[in-house]
Every structure is written in structure tokens, then in C-alpha cells.
Chains A and B, each alone.
Chain A
Amino acid sequence: MINFTTLIMNLKREFWENHRILITLPLIISALMILAAIGTVIYSNHSNAITDSDSASTISKNVTNEITSGVSTDPSVLDLNKKSNTDKNTQLESDVTASGNPSDEVTENNFWYIGIYFAFCWFIALFYLLNSLHSDRSDRSILFWKSMPVSDWESIFSKYLFASLAFAFFAMIIAWANSIVLYGLVASGINPDLVDPNAEEMAFDFAQMFVWPLIVIGITWLWSSIWFSWALFCSARAKRFPVLLFILVPTLYGFVEKLITGQNPLMSFVIAHSPWKLLSYISKEPRLGDFFQYLFIDNAGGLVASIIISTGLLYATTWHRANRIECE
């Protein structure tokens, strides 16, 4: 059983240990986005000043939409896409009307803004997990942690929760804050004389910004649990290099599997359950209903299998944690 107070304290402990990477990475991504936005605003103002006012206002509008929704800030891409964006907005409007519920929508462009944050933070979360149980064995601080009345399961579960939820959650908060900065920057940076007063107002989709990321964090926690728990198991099991165990064992197994059966069901399963694959799928699947059907009906077996395997791996991790103090 898990004591709630102990769990909170353990999560706090993880934050103390990892707060730098937890906040620094999203801040770096934000800084890069802000720099790109500034560059785009300067470029668009410069190019709009030398073109006719009609096309300038269209470009400005599109640039504003693209940046605030976090898509490519490359000016050439934006310029080339100006027509397709207008078409896309029209399509989005018709989709919203068709579904009757804005929160049932996500577009590739809008979600990729937070998707970038998630993609990086899950990468870091996996490295954190690979290191988490190995580092305290190598510096022997495991002896101190184990001298506290905290069960091995409580320690492991708090690390699992922290990696699979807290990293993405912090990234999301910083992404939200950054979007406000970007909105302000773009809104104040574009020459108002160049903006068509009759153009549509800038779109801000609450669902895409706030609801979808939360859903994605929750779904990833279940769908990709096999990745997080495998990383944690490798960290508890490995004598020297958890990352090698993490990569080599599935790769070798997949190779042998391919050699013997000519197929690769395990590797396909593992890849399908990676957080990045899920992100990629979300970017293509615009409706919440379809997304849930894909996960909970079409792939219910895979989801259940992932949860069962993860539970087994976490159990094995707990056993190793209980009985393996030394690295060597």
C-alpha cells in the first residue's frame, strides 16, 4: 500500500533533485520559440512594407496564427503556406460546426506547439528513469533512502509518477506561459497599419491549448507505461550502463524474433507504444472521439497488454530494489 503523505514527500524529493532539468529544458524550447517569433515578426514587417497592403495583411494574420499556435516559424514555410492556411482555417471551421463541440477538435498545427515540449520532455523523462535507481546505488545514497520508513514500492511508484506525469505537466505549464508571451510579442510586433481591419480575429482554441495536453498526458501515462517501466527496471537491474540494457535487450530480441519468425511483433508493439508515436498519431487524428476509439476500442488489447507488462516490470523493479544495493 502507498501512504499518501509519503508519496507527496517522495515527489517533492524528486522535484528537489531534478528541478533544474525539469524547468530548464522547457525554458530552452520557449526561448528558441521566442527568438524564432521575433525573427518572423521582423521579417514579416519588412516584407509587408514592400508589398501591397492586401497580401501583407493576409501574411501578417497567418504569421500570427502560426506562431501563436507553435507551428513552423520559418518565414519561407509560412509564406508558401499562406494559401493553404486560409483553406485549413475554413476546413477547421466546418469541422467545428460539424462536431458541434470545439473541444472535440485538434489540428496538426495547433497541437504541435505543445507536442514539441512533450516530445523533448519524454525523452528527458526516460533518461531520468534510467538514471534514477542506478545513481543512488552507484553513490551509495540508497543506504540513506532505505534507512527511512519508505517502502521500495513507494520509492519506485513515486519515480514512475514523476517521470511519466510531472515532466510533461511542467512542460505544459511552461508552454502555456510561453504562448502568452508569444501572443503578446506577435500582437505588439506586427505593424498595425499592415493588418487588414476586416480580417478574422486571431483564433485561440481553448481546447487545443488546455484540454488536449492534459488528455495526452493522461493517455500517455497508460499507453506508454511499458516504456517508462522498462526504463525503471533497467535502472534497478543494470550493473553499469542502464541505457545499454534499455536499448540492447529489445533490439537483440527483435533481431532474433525476425530471424526465426520473419516478423517483428514485439518491436512493432514497443514502437507503437512509444510516447512519440502517440504524439505523431494525435497530430494526424483530429477528433477526440476517433482518438479514444483508436486507443480504447481498436487497440484495447494493446493497451491492456501494456498495462499488464508494465505492472510486471514494476514488480520486478521492486524486487531488484529490495535486494540489489550494490552496482557491481
Chain B
Amino acid sequence: MNTIIKAKGVTKLYGGFAALNNVDLDIPAGRIVGLIGPNGAGKSTLLRCMMGMTNHHGELSVMSMKPAESRRQLMQKVAYIADTAVLPKWIRVAQLLEYAEGVHPNFDRKRAESFLAKTQIKLKSKVSTLSKGMTTQVHLAIAISIDAKLLVLDEPTLGLDILYRKQFYEQLLNDFFDEQRTIIITTHQVEEVEALLSDVVFIQQGKIVLDMSMEELSERFYQVEVSNDRISEASKLNPIYRTKTLGGERIIIEGSHNSDLPSIGTVTTPSIADLFMAKMA
């Protein structure tokens, strides 16, 4: 499988502070990757390095291009949404489409207009008059109308209510994704994207702490619901995370499958949210 993004020893310093610290990462084509981490972990910085929006140390290749040197060429093949509030407020929707059509060789204006026709958004409206949800839809309309091989979403649904969030991801899957395209998403609402993701990357303090596919994840991490009388047995398995439940504990274990596990409780695959808590703790 082709690697669409390859990072080796990527470091980004702000003064003495390392926002990214020696990041190594390979992202194959045709995947939906969740980049997950707490605030200030370096998610947005990593995406901006990938998009050529800021300089960095180390080797970084996106679609066989060095982003910092070839941002203009790279952006012809990449669509990028950096949260909901970055569209300029003074511009009208029609002007945004005209601008995108004028500067982007792979932008399909008709597609964007037909997407927006299904919404309440008028082309004459100024962005400043749109709600946050509508602004996100405008941005999504632009992004999915770019014939891009890579879509990068940096907290795309931040501040949106649940209806808009669900609608956003549905539209994303229906109107954009196919096996030829890759999507990278950073979000705090891990539960909402969990079902979409094919790969997950955890980042903390500028370092990658987990990078694997969902299949690998289900083979490597186990969640066991343990009753109170089995807790001492469960403790011997060196759980990486434990939390109290009604009448027992829920533990997460990292490693190969142990045949004794079913005897101490119900074994399931941990959710990304729980795994995130386990790895970040």
C-alpha cells in the first residue's frame, strides 16, 4: 500500500518549547486516520507541518512532496479544513466559490453549489451572517469539491451541536470518501469518529504514543469487566488502565490474548476514548 505521508524525526520548536518532538509517522493511502491527543499535544502543529504552513526540523513527505517547500503544489492535491472559524467573515459565499474556482485547478464549483443547494445557505450571504454550523457546511462544500487525494480536518466540528456534527461526518463519508482517498481527522469528540476510523494515532507532548490500525488495536488491547471478587486476579495481568464500575472494575490490558482472560470477566475491545485515557494517564 502506498504511503501518503511519511514523517521521520519531525521536530517543531517554539522558542525552547518542543511542540513536536522527533515524530515518526507513516500514513498509508486510502485510510481514515484519527489523530488524537489532549489540548496542546501538538496535533494542529503536526497537521500544519504536513500542510507546509510552518517550518520544522526532520524529514516530512506528503504525497512525495516536501510541504514546506512545495505548499502551492501540495494544496492542489490536498483539501484542508482548520476548524470551523477560519473562513473570512467579510466574504460572501459566492465570492468564496469564485475565488476557489479561480485559484484551484481541481475545484468543481458546480459540485459545491449543488451541495449548498441542499442546505439553507444562500450564495449571497456573508460568512459573518452564517451560524457556526452553516459556516462549517460552506467550508465542507469547498473541501469536498476539490478533487483531492488527501483531506485533512483539524477539529472540524469544534463548537457545533450534535446534529451538525453527525451531519458533517455523514456528508463527509457520502460525498467525499472512497478507497482512493485518505482522510486525517483530529477531534476531541472521539466517540463520534470512532466508527469511521481505520487507523488511530495518539499524540502527547509532541510525541507519538500510539500508531496502529483498528484491526491491530483490537488484537493488542483488551478490556475486561471484572467483578469485585476477581480484582486480585486481574491485577496480576498488569492492566494499563482501571476504573471503578458498579460491582467491580473495568481494566484494559495490553499484550497478546491470554486464554485466562474470559475466566476473570467479560472481554471486549476497548473504546478509543477508554484507550486514550489509558495511554494518556
A147 interface contact, C-beta 8 A: yes
Binds B, one of A64-72, A92-100, A133-141: A133-141
Partner of A144, one of B54, B82, B90: B82
Known A139-B88, A322-B55, A323-B55: A147·B102 in contact at CB below 8 Å = no
B33 within 8 A of A: no
Q: How far is the CB of B47 from chain A (nearest CB, A)?
A: 10
In the complex, which residues of chain A have a beta carbon less than 8 angstroms from the beta carbon of B102?
Answer: 5-6, 8-9, 12
Interface 9-mer from A83-91, A102-110, A148-156, A272-280? A148-156
With both beta carbons as reference points, the residue of chain B lying nearest to A154 in the complex is identified as B72
Min CB distance A162 to B, Å, is 15
Q: Tell me how many residue pairs across A and B have CB atoms closer than 8 Å.
A: 82
Interface residues of A in 266-308 (CB under 8 A from B): none
| Contact present for B75 and A325 (CB under 8 Å) | no
**Smallest CB separation, B98 vs chain A (Å):** 8
Known contacts A323-B54, A325-B53, A325-B54; decide if A149 and B88 are in contact (CB<8 Å). Answer: no
A325 in contact with B55 (CB, 8 Å): no
Contact B86–A143 (Cβ < 8 Å):
yes
Smallest CB–CB gap between B172 and chain A, Å? 16
With contacts A9-B102, A148-B100, A148-B103 taken as known, whether A136 is within 8 angstroms of B88 at the C-beta atoms is: yes
Which residues of the partner chain B approach A142 to less than 8 Å between Cβ atoms?
86
- Indicate whether A240 reaches chain B with its CB closer than 8 angstroms: no
In the complex, A139→B90 CA distance in Å? 11
Question: Nearest A residue to B91 by beta-carbon distance?
Answer: A16
Assess whether A17 is in contact with B91, with CB atoms less than 8 Å apart: yes
- Which A8-30 residues have C-beta < 8 A from chain B? 8-10, 12-13, 16-17
* B51, B86, B139, most chain A CB atoms within 10 A: B86
Residue A258 lies at the interface, judged by CB distance under 8 Å to chain B: no
For residue A151, which residues in chain B have a CB less than 8 angstroms away from its CB?
71-72
Considering the chains assembled together, what is the distance between the CA atoms of A139 and B91 in angstroms? 13
Complex interface: chain B residues within 8 A of A46 (CB): none
Interfacial residues of chain B within 42-79, with CB under 8 A of chain A in the complex: 48, 51, 53-55, 68, 71-76, 79
Chain A residue contacts of B74, Cβ below 8 A: 149
By the criterion CB–CB under 8 Å, are A143 and B91 in contact? no
Q: Which B residues are in CB contact (< 8 Å) with A146?
A: 51, 53, 71, 75
Q: Assuming A6-B103, A9-B103, is B51 touching A147 (CB within 8 A)?
A: yes
User: Which residues does chain A contribute within 8 Å of B90, judged by CB atoms?
Assistant: 16-17
Q: Does B105 contact A (CB under 8 A)?
A: yes
A140–B75 CB distance below 8 A = no
Complex Cα gap A151–B76 (Å)? 11
Given the contacts A16-B95, A325-B48, A144 and B103 also touching, CB distance less than 8 Å: no
Q: Which 6 residue pairs of A and B lie closest in terms of their CB atoms, listed nearest first?
A: A9-B102, A143-B82, A149-B75, A147-B80, A141-B88, A143-B86
- 15 additional A-B pairs beyond A9-B103, A151-B72, beta carbons within 8 Å, are A9-B99, A12-B99, A16-B91, A139-B89, A140-B83, A143-B83, A143-B86, A144-B86, A144-B139, A146-B51, A148-B103, A149-B103, A149-B104, A151-B71, A325-B53
Could you give 5 example pairs across A and B, Cβ below 8 Å? A9-B103, A144-B86, A144-B88, A148-B104, A325-B53
